[in-house]
Each structure stands twice: as C-alpha cells, then as structure tokens.
Structure 1
C-alpha cells in the first residue's frame, strides 16, 4: 500500500505522526510526506513531496493580506493560518505531488488541509492524526467551512475521515469533546533519533542533585522568559538542562556550566533521561512526551492551545501551572518536595502504556478501509 502522510510544517505536528509512519514502514508499505521542504530532515526516511509554505512564509502572507495576528487571534488566526494561506499557497503543488505519488491512503495532521484536499480529489480514504487536543467545536466548524470553500475552487468536495488517530490518553481529554471521526488511540512516544550523539551532561560533583529540564518548544522564542526561568531556578540546588537553546539565546548573559547546560535541539527521548521535573510552555508534544515518561511538570502556558494542554495536565494531577516565569522556581521546589505531582504523572504514564502501540493502531486503521 502507498500511504501519504501530510503535515503542517511544524515539529509539533509532524513528530507525533512518526510512530505510525515507522509502523507502516515496518509493515512494508511505501510512504511519502507532503509538507514544506524544511521538514525533510525530520521526515524519518520518508521522501518529501514539497507543498505549502513554511511558518515564516505563512505569517508573511497573512500579514500582507490581513491585519490579523495569526499567533494570538484564536478565532480568525487558525482559519487564516491553516486554511487560507496553506491552501492558497500550496494547493496546486499538493494536488500535483499527490497525483504523482498516487496514494491508497492519506494520513493528515488534524489541522492540515492539503492532505484531505488531495485525498478528496483523488477519491482515496484519509485519516486525521491528532497532535493537540481535539479542536474546540466552533473552531473545527470554522476551519471546515473555510476549507470547503477553498476546495470548491478546485472542483473538490471534502470527504469525511475514516478515523481519528489520537495520542492523548482518556484522562486528559476534555469532557464532551467532539471528534472528526471514530477514535483510534495511539501510544505517544517521545521523539527519538538514532543519529543523535547527545549525552546527558555529567554535572561533575553534583550528580546527586535533581535534574530539571527547561524547554519552551520549537515555536516559542522569548529569551527574556528563558532568562527569568533560569533566574528563578538559580536559588534551588538543582542541575538544569535547557533545550532547544544555545549560548546565543542568552546573549551576553554568563552561565554557570557546573549547574546549567544549554543543549540545543535534542530528541526528547534523550532529553528526558534522568530528569526529575520538566518545565515547559505546555506544547502538546512536550506534555505527552513527559507524561509517557512519567515526568512531573511545571507549566507556563505561552499562547495558542497551550493553556488548554496545561489545564488538562493539571486536572490529571500531573502538573503545576504557573502564571509567570518568576514563579517557576517555587513551583519546581514544590514538586520536588511533594511526590503528589510525580505520582499523578506516573498514573497517566501507566494509562498511556495501555494505549494501542503504533503497530496495533496501523492494523485498526487499515481495517477501516474495508
């Protein structure tokens, strides 16, 4: 079978799909990835079929056409970002590339519309793959309506997905959430890369101290927030790894290498090794990765869907949520002193182990094709 994976060009959307693509490869299927060329290095061996703009091109297009701040306007921003710009700039390339590849199945990230456009045009089934929590019903309707209008420009009528592949455990799902299709769970896995040579820093003479991972993700870029977080942790007797950051992220600021390591981009599976607490901006991929490894979290939500992710993790007892960067240190001290949050994270991790493996998910998905 020929399976086309289609993703918005962002690590948080693509990486959660890679376990399923790896399962498909193990099963002998032929794969390709439909996305921007900037995702080629993370395509896990899938040939990349270029289509659609990258993040800077998308934001530039939205700014040129509208006065909307796509990263902050949670009503109009997603429609402009995921539908108007992505389809407006990428539909023709996507249709041409998909036609040449001739897939039997398309698997698209939940807010990618190039894959569903190609599937509908070619008359092949497609499945939606979750990354973030299920969309707010009003937003889902707005996205689908805008997409249908764009599809019509190419003489294409949207088709319903055959399944919704979901990496979120039941305990973190919002009450009465609306899904685009019948749900198939898939066990979330921290991103791994066999080519990575990174190893955990030794912190010589301080090996017995707790290890705190600070990661603001690959989208949030606020050196001031990072600096404040590191300042708040300086009063604690802990070791800190900050990723994906390098020394240039802190400008002229001096760091103490005996207590702080700036890791750059490292696969999450490696970063989580030996970590006692994860500090993050509550991106979906980081939250799921930390929970799958039973790591308690301190979360400072920084826009988009992150407040919802943080609230659900806190409701499950697996995280402490703060409102400001200077509160991080006190929250980490709380988590280290009281095992309540660690126990909550361990309970969610146990739930995650009971979810479908990627191989089982693939089997369930293919059965839906009839």
Structure 2
C-alpha cells in the first residue's frame, strides 16, 4: 500500500505522525510526506514531496489578505491560516504531487487542509491525525465551512475521514470537542532520531543534583521569556539543560556552564533521559512527551492552545502552572520537594503506556479500510 502523510510545515504537527509512518514503513508499505521542503530533514527517511507554503509565507499571505496576524490573533486568523492561505498558495502543487505518488491512503495532521483536499480530489480515503487536543465545536465548524467553500474552486468536494487518530490519553480529554470521525487512540511517543549524536552533559561534580529541562518548544511566541526563566532558576542548586528554539533566544545572556548546558534542538526522547522535571510553555508535543516519560512539569503557557494543555496537565496532578517567568524557580522548588506532582505524572504515564502502539493502530486502520 502507498500511504501519503501530509502535514502543516511545523514540527508540532509533523512529529506526532512519525510513529505511525515508521510503523507503516516497518510493515512494508511505501510512505511519503507531503509538506514544505523545510520539513524534509525531519521526515524520518520518508521522501518529501514539496508542496504548500512555509509558515512564514502563510503568515505573510494571511496578513496581506486580511490584516490579521494569526500569531497575535490565532482565533481570528486560524481559518485563513490553515484553510484559505494553505489552499490558495498550495492546492495546485499539492494535488500534482499527490497525484504523482498515487496514494491508497492519506494521513493528514488534524488541521492540514492541503492533504485532505488532495485526498478529496483523488477520491482517496484519508485519516485525520491529532496533535493538539481536539478542536472545539465552533472552530471545527468554521474550518469545515471554509473548506466546503474553497475546495470546489479547485474541483473537489470535502470528504469525511475514515478515522481520527488521537495521541491524547482519555484522562486529559473533556466534553465539547468536535471529533471528525470515530476516535482511535494512539500512544504518543517522544520524538527520536537514531542519527542524533547528542549526549547528555555530565555536570562534573554535580551529578547528584536534580536535572531540569527548560524548553519553550519549536514554535516560540516569547523567546525573551527564556532569560528570566533561567534567572529564576539560578538560586536553586540544580543542573539545567536548555533547549532553545534558536541560538538567538538567549541574546547576550551568559550562563554558568558548570550548571547550565545549552543543547539547541535535540530529539525529545534524548532530552528527557535522566531529567527530573520539565519547564515548558505547554505545547502539545512537549506535554505529551513529558507525560509519556512520567516527568512532572512546571508550565508557563504562552498562547495558542497552550493554556488548555497546561490546565489539563494540572488537573491530572502532573503539572504546576505559573503566570510569569519569575515564578518558575519557586514552582520548581515546590515540585522537587513534593512527590505529589511526580506521582500524578507517573499515573498518566501508566495510562499512556496502555494505549495502542503505532503498529497496533496501523493494523486497526488497515482492517477498517478492508
């Protein structure tokens, strides 16, 4: 079978789908990725079929057409970002690339309307793959209305997905979501890369101190928060690994290299090894990765879906949520001194471990397709 994975060109959308793509490859299926070329190096060996605009190009188009900046007003700009601009700039190339690949199945990230358009135009069954929590009913309806108006302009009519593959454990879900199809839970996996050469720093002479991972994720709304976060942690006798979005996030700020290590982008599976606590902005991928590894969190949600992700983790007893960077240090001290949050994270990790693996989900999907 030929399976085409299609993703918005952002790691938070692509990485959650890679375990299912890897499972398909192991099972002997031919797989490929439909996305912007910037995603090619993260495609885990899949050929990347270049199509659709980059995130900056999409943002520029939305602002030019509507005057809305989706990074500042994601609610108002979401339909334009994920549906209108993606199709205006990418429908023709996306369909041509998909037609050349001739997939038997398309797997799209949950808000990738370029992939689902190609599936509709080709008459190919498709599956929606979650990353963030399921969309609330009003936003999902707005997306679908925009697709129903836009698809016919390119000769297609929206079709329904065969299934909705969801990496969120049941305990973090709530009512009020609009699922596009029957939900099929899949165990979330921290991103890994067998070609990564990064190794965890030793922190010579300080190996017995708690190890804190600080990461604001791959799409950072407020990189300036990183410096006050580190300043807040400085009074604590802890070791810190910082995974900044880019080398410029710290500006001219100097760190004590005996206690703080700057890692840059490293696969999350490696970053989490040996870590006692995660400080993060509550992006979906980071939250699910930390929970799957039973790591307690201190979360500073910075926008988009992050406040909801943080609230769910806190309600599960697996995280403490703060409102400002200078509150991080005190919250970390409390969590390290109190086993309750670590126990909450461990409980969610047990739930995640019982979810179907990517290989099992692939088998269920193929059985459903007949």
Q: TM-score, normalised by structure 2?
A: 0.98
> How far off its partner does 1:245 sit?
5.0
Tell me the equivalent position of 2:59: 59
Tell me the equivalent position of 1:42: 42
CA 1:342/1:63 → structure 2, altered by over 3 Å: closer, same or farther?
same
Q: Is the 8 A contact 2:221 2:302 kept in 1?
A: no
CA 1:160/1:246 → structure 2, altered by over 3 Å: closer, same or farther?
closer
In 2, Cα distance between equivalents of 1:245 and 1:9:
16
In 2, Cα distance between equivalents of 1:318 and 1:75:
28
In 1, Cα distance between equivalents of 2:253 and 2:197:
27
> How far off its partner does 1:222 sit?
3.2
Tell me the equivalent position of 2:232: 232
**Coordinate RMSD, CA, aligned:** 1.0
Tell me the equivalent position of 1:190: 190
Q: Is the 8 A contact 1:290 1:296 kept in 2?
A: yes
Q: Is the 8 A contact 2:136 2:176 kept in 1?
A: no
Tell me the equivalent position of 1:121: 121
> How far off its partner does 1:249 sit?
2.8
Tell me the equivalent position of 1:329: 329
> How far off its partner does 1:96 sit?
0.5
Question: 1:292-343: CA deviations, max 9, x gaps?
Answer: 0000000000110101100111111110011111100011011000011000
> How far off its partner does 1:252 sit?
2.0
> How far off its partner does 1:124 sit?
1.1
> How far off its partner does 1:250 sit?
1.9
In 2, Cα distance between equivalents of 1:51 and 1:224:
32
> How far off its partner does 1:211 sit?
0.4
In 1, Cα distance between equivalents of 2:223 and 2:118:
40
Count, aligned residues? 370
| Structure 1, gaps ≥5 residues long | none
Q: Does 1:338 align with 2:338?
A: yes
In 1, Cα distance between equivalents of 2:248 and 2:60:
25
Tell me the equivalent position of 1:352: 352
> How far off its partner does 1:139 sit?
0.3
> How far off its partner does 1:174 sit?
1.7
SS in structure 2 of the partner of residue 75 of structure 1 = helix
> How far off its partner does 1:130 sit?
0.1
Tell me the equivalent position of 1:250: 250
SS in structure 1 of the partner of residue 209 of structure 2 = coil
In 2, Cα distance between equivalents of 1:19 and 1:237:
37
> How far off its partner does 1:286 sit?
0.3
> How far off its partner does 1:108 sit?
0.3
Q: TM-score, normalised by structure 1?
A: 0.98
Q: Is the 8 A contact 1:244 1:266 kept in 2?
A: no
> How far off its partner does 1:246 sit?
6.1
SS in structure 1 of the partner of residue 369 of structure 2 = coil
Tell me the equivalent position of 1:32: 32
In 1, Cα distance between equivalents of 2:279 and 2:340:
17
Tell me the equivalent position of 2:222: 222
> How far off its partner does 1:19 sit?
0.3
Tell me the equivalent position of 2:269: 269
